[in-house]
Structure 1
Amino acid sequence: MARLFAILLLSVGLSACSTLTDMWPSSVPADSSLAGDVSVATESQHSAFEAGAENIQPEGQLPAKHEQQESAALSAALDTLDQAQAAQLTLAQAWPMALAHDPSWLAATSARQATDTFRTQGLAGLLPQIQAGYSRSRIDGLRRQPWLFGLMRESILEYDSSNAYVQLQQPLFDLGRYHTWRWAEARAVQGDADWLAARQQLAARLSDAWIALLGARDALELRQALADSLSAQLAGQEALFRHNEGNVIDIQQIRSRLETARADAIRAQASLDVAQEALQSMLGVPIGRGPGQRLPVTPQFAATSSAPATASDLTTIHPTVLPPLQPAQLVDWLDMARARNADIIAQRASLRVAQVDVARAASRHAPTLAFVANWSKADSENLSSLSQRTNTYVVGLQLSVPLFSGGYDTALHAQARAQASQASHELDATQEQTLADVMRHYQGITGGAQRIRALESSAQSAALGLEATRKTHQFGLGSNLDTLRMQDRLFNVRAQLNQARLEYLRARIALLAAAGIPLDEIFVGQAFEH
């Protein structure tokens, strides 16, 4: 996982702003470095990032030339890595699987399909409304009519009655229908914005699950390396004891730490299983190849060795490739977030819907005017037209003026204004939270880089100190307990270093998401369109 972190960080961290042509080496030799170590970047890699940094636009928009170069380089690198890891699942392969299975994303897709129908619904209110009807009935009865001298005359009724009509109504002046159409358009736009926000959230959740898996695998391999180292030391001490050169105290001290390391490895294995299950739940398919098999996944932007971690990896410290953040200034990232953040865009769309809803509620107080045309044909429609056939044509204007609705329209208007105010405050809260997140992630990157360098220096010092303590003990000038303490210190520093690297990577991805850069396009190596 050494090159895993380096290449993933390089590809994701600068995918929005630098050329990646020279990012990956043509071949990556396999080694046995511990998960979390990162190979040393070449000078050409750093110069490529510096060259790309000079063409960053301050408003967060990428030059088209750099978009094409970045897309081509990234896609080529991913193709190479996919061929190298053909038997394993890549992040680019996991992305369409998550799109096809993740319940939250499927719910968002269905919601978008539902809101998209609002466009047709709103337009329908402005178009002519045509309706037709036909009725036919059989009349059987007795009719009584006053006659001479107070007498009643009776007659039997037996006849068929029919009525057919066609009516057309076209609104000429109707603010309610007009604002309903505007509201429907705004609601459809909001559905699109919510869908894009859900897509971004899915990409972020997938990357979080991936990073969690890397961290769990890191922890397991590190603890296994510690256990292997202690096991080798125990075997050496037991051999010395058999030749009357060791003592029981040293053996017991090593055995105690070995059992603790094995217990920690068991716990790390359980954490890895949980991380694997979390990723599988998003993809909807079992990823393991069989009972007891480890998760056959490879991070998309990495070319890692399949060799397991060994005890010597505890003292092998590879410097982490930390490409410069582009754009480098915090104000540029804040501007990008204001303009492109998916949550802010969705909240703006929600505010627009609420504002149009206010106008729609106010329109209930306005009069309406409609053109009406009607044709009807009746045969013995009633007793007065018995045995008569009539054709009627009506063309005219229909004016409707609302006078009193019991206070309903006034209350509805007040409710709409309050909801618009609520949406405005929610937009302000979303913007403030997003900008705070951008600042936090930006500080996490800048401060995280310094922390990684400090931990690398500390790990190097601890490794040298462990080696010196071992040599001192071999010459009889130190104790075995001193060696174990130095080894524990090195292990703790290595664990902190691995965690700092993952936190740095997580902050980098989170900053891209907060700035509105589509993470899914990074996964599949496509160019940015915004």
Structure 2
Amino acid sequence: MSADLAPRYPRWLAAMGMVAALLAAMPACNGEPAPFDPLLARPPELDRGKLLPGDEQGMVCTSSSFGPGKVLTLADAVDLALCHQPQVQATWASIKLQAAQLGEARAAYLPTLNAGASRYRDGISAEQGSSTRSVGTLYATLTWRLLDFGGRSANQRAADVLLQAASASQDATLQKAMAAAVGLYYEAHSARAAEQARERALQLAHQVLATAIKREQRGVGSLPETLQARSFVAKAELELARAVGQHKRSLVALAVGLGLLDQAGDVPVLTLSSEVEEDPLGLEQNLPGWLQSARQYHPAILAARAQLEAAREKVKVARSEGLPTLDLSASRFINGRPNQAGGSRGDRETVVGLNLNIPVFEGFARNYKIDGAQAQVELREAELRDVQAQVLGDIATTYAEATTALRSMASSRSLLEAAQRAVESVRRKYDAGAADIVEMLNAQSVLSEAELERIRCLSDWRSARLRLLANAGEMGRSSFATSSAPLKPPARP
């Protein structure tokens, strides 16, 4: 725009300057705490955090990282996984994308305003001489769609349910991320318990060896018994070395799964918290209850249903595009119209009109577009049935594993207590010379296997318990409080 237009049209220039300043002041939706959202398309969870099932506070990631020397609890491990896994971060971006598309759908109900300016210079040459004329043109156009036979409303409903689908898909991703973090954490915890059990077995083997040496020196025992005890010590040392290696591998896998390896640049030293081993009370809800809860609230099923509903709305959008539309337009021109020479200074023109657009023939493209939209509906229906079958099948399988683990817990405790009493009894007899080395080593082997079986059963219960919650879409921070409470889904509104 030329500078000499300013003194002639101060009101127009002031209004256009205010519009330009407002547009320049609008911040982009780039993940800032309070982005510009005049149409209220941004869901509150982007600012308040995701509320997990059974929790009272939303999940909000902070900039603080896991420090060295800090005891890593199960809740800390889950928080690290939820804040650093790329799959979870991608779901946040998907929600922002769907929120932006919802804003676009809502913006279709509002009018659009365009303004512009141009300048023309005409030069005329004749026998009497030459002359030059300079004209500046200002214009503004308002366009507002008044009627479209349901196309905008269907598009907005589709955007709404797609945003719900993105949120439900994120819930399903969070459940998988928490289940993976819990699995890695308990694997490391069980590996540490197995290492400690092997250490106790090695100590007991050294004690048996010391007793065998004393018996041989007193003439009560024999050299073969001492050699057997030494062989048992060597075997215990080998098993301990393997347990130490397995423990280290599980810690590395845990660090990688939680994203700690990328932050520190090296494998951090992790110290896991100690947990009290308690037998659980049981499963409070039966299998039909878990399945019914999953049908109503599982995020993967909710996401598939939302996708199906959005596909049905897209069919309405495709059909409405072949129906008439009615638009209101209003334009204001000063000094002529743009891109048209011949205007003069001082001209004022106002144009107001109604535009009715009736599609007549589009080469049958509309029919094929509707057929494609209906095919998408059929595809989404098949995906919904597949998701339901997979989710309910996983729940039934995990429920059977959890009930089996429950029955094994009491048996493993009884086995461990009996093995401990047997070792103490045989040890007293061995010290008194009433039992041989074979009986002592057999009792010690049974005790070592009983300890490992107890650890295995406890790990199976923890894994099955939390996998059942994750497969049902009901896992939250409150699920990590204790493993002895009756297992049931959190209450839903």
Q: Does 1:218 align with 2:193?
A: yes
1:318-365 Cα offsets, whole Å, 9 max, x none, are xx52203212x2211111111121222222222222222222222222
TM-score (norm 1): 0.70
Partner of 1:330: 287
Partner of 2:309: 352
Does the C-alpha gap of structure 1 residues 211 and 457 become closer, same or farther in structure 2, counting only changes over 3 Å? same
Q: Does 1:110 align with 2:67?
A: no
Matches within 5 A, 1:77-88: 88=71
Partner of 1:246: 221
Secondary structure at the residue paired with 1:446?
helix
Matches within 5 A, 1:281-430: 281-285=256-260, 295-298=270-273, 302=275, 320-327=278-285, 329-379=286-336, 385=342, 387=344, 390-430=347-387
Q: Once the 2 structures are TM-superposed, how far is the Cα of residue 383 of structure 1 from its aligned partner? A: 8.1
Q: Distance in 1 between matches of 2:96 and 2:339?
A: 49
Matches within 5 A, 1:379-528: 379=336, 385=342, 387=344, 390-471=347-428, 473-474=430-431, 478-523=435-480
Partner of 2:145: 171
Q: Distance in 1 between matches of 2:234 and 2:213?
A: 16
1:194-247 Cα offsets, whole Å, 9 max, x none, are 222233333322322221121111111111111111122122222333444333
Say how many residue pairs are matched.
418
Higher relative contact order, chain-length normalized (CA < 8 Å, sep 6+): 1
TM-score (norm 2): 0.74
Q: Of 130, 134, 151, which residue of structure 1 is paired with 2:113?
A: 130
Q: Does 1:201 align with 2:168?
A: no
Secondary structure at the residue paired with 1:321?
coil
Aligned residues of 1:160 and 1:380 also touching (Cα < 8 A)? no
Q: Distance in 1 between matches of 2:340 and 2:115?
A: 24
Q: Distance in 2 between matches of 1:233 and 1:365?
A: 90
Q: Distance in 2 between matches of 1:112 and 1:521?
A: 25
Partner of 1:182: 157
Q: Distance in 2 between matches of 1:479 and 1:266?
A: 28
Q: Distance in 2 between matches of 1:293 and 1:181?
A: 48
Partner of 1:257: 232
Q: Distance in 2 between matches of 1:91 and 1:494?
A: 23
Partner of 1:18: none
Aligned residues of 1:118 and 1:185 also touching (Cα < 8 A)? no
Q: Once the 2 structures are TM-superposed, how far is the Cα of residue 417 of structure 1 from its aligned partner? A: 1.9
Partner of 2:13: none
Aligned residues of 1:521 and 1:528 also touching (Cα < 8 A)? no
Q: Distance in 2 between matches of 1:120 and 1:234?
A: 77
Does the C-alpha gap of structure 1 residues 503 and 268 become closer, same or farther in structure 2, counting only changes over 3 Å? same
Secondary structure at the residue paired with 2:335?
strand
Does the C-alpha gap of structure 1 residues 384 and 249 become closer, same or farther in structure 2, counting only changes over 3 Å? closer
Does the C-alpha gap of structure 1 residues 405 and 381 become closer, same or farther in structure 2, counting only changes over 3 Å? closer
Secondary structure at the residue paired with 2:272?
coil
1:375-411 Cα offsets, whole Å, 9 max, x none, are 2223496887364653222212111122333444333
Q: Distance in 1 between matches of 2:407 and 2:276?
A: 25
Q: Distance in 2 between matches of 1:425 and 1:482?
A: 63
Aligned residues of 1:375 and 1:393 also touching (Cα < 8 A)? yes
Q: Once the 2 structures are TM-superposed, how far is the Cα of residue 267 of structure 1 from its aligned partner? A: 2.2
Does the C-alpha gap of structure 1 residues 297 and 157 become closer, same or farther in structure 2, counting only changes over 3 Å? farther
Aligned residues of 1:241 and 1:248 also touching (Cα < 8 A)? yes
Q: Once the 2 structures are TM-superposed, how far is the Cα of residue 122 of structure 1 from its aligned partner? A: 1.0
Q: Distance in 2 between matches of 1:353 and 1:497?
A: 50
Q: Distance in 1 between matches of 2:304 and 2:491?
A: 23
Q: Distance in 2 between matches of 1:108 and 1:132?
A: 39
Q: Distance in 2 between matches of 1:392 and 1:168?
A: 14
Aligned residues of 1:138 and 1:161 also touching (Cα < 8 A)? yes
Q: Once the 2 structures are TM-superposed, how far is the Cα of residue 191 of structure 1 from its aligned partner? A: 2.0
Q: Distance in 1 between matches of 2:167 and 2:193?
A: 39
Aligned residues of 2:330 and 2:352 also touching (Cα < 8 A)? yes
Q: Distance in 2 between matches of 1:122 and 1:141?
A: 51
Secondary structure at the residue paired with 1:396?
strand
Q: Structure 2: 5+ residue runs without aligned partners? A: 1-53, 57-68, 483-489
Root mean square deviation, CA, Å: 3.5
Q: Distance in 2 between matches of 1:331 and 1:515?
A: 12
Partner of 2:43: none
Secondary structure at the residue paired with 1:385?
coil
Aligned residues of 2:188 and 2:250 also touching (Cα < 8 A)? yes
Partner of 1:230: 205
Q: Distance in 1 between matches of 2:121 and 2:267?
A: 80
User: Percent same amino acid at aligned positions?
Assistant: 25
Q: Distance in 2 between matches of 1:292 and 1:252?
A: 41
Aligned residues of 2:55 and 2:476 also touching (Cα < 8 A)? no
1:253-273 Cα offsets, whole Å, 9 max, x none, are 232232232222222222222
Bigger Cα displacement from structure 2, 466-475 vs 483-492 = 466-475
Aligned residues of 2:261 and 2:268 also touching (Cα < 8 A)? no
Q: Once the 2 structures are TM-superposed, how far is the Cα of residue 293 of structure 1 from its aligned partner? A: 9.8
Q: Distance in 2 between matches of 1:155 and 1:392?
A: 33
Q: Distance in 1 between matches of 2:444 and 2:338?
A: 104
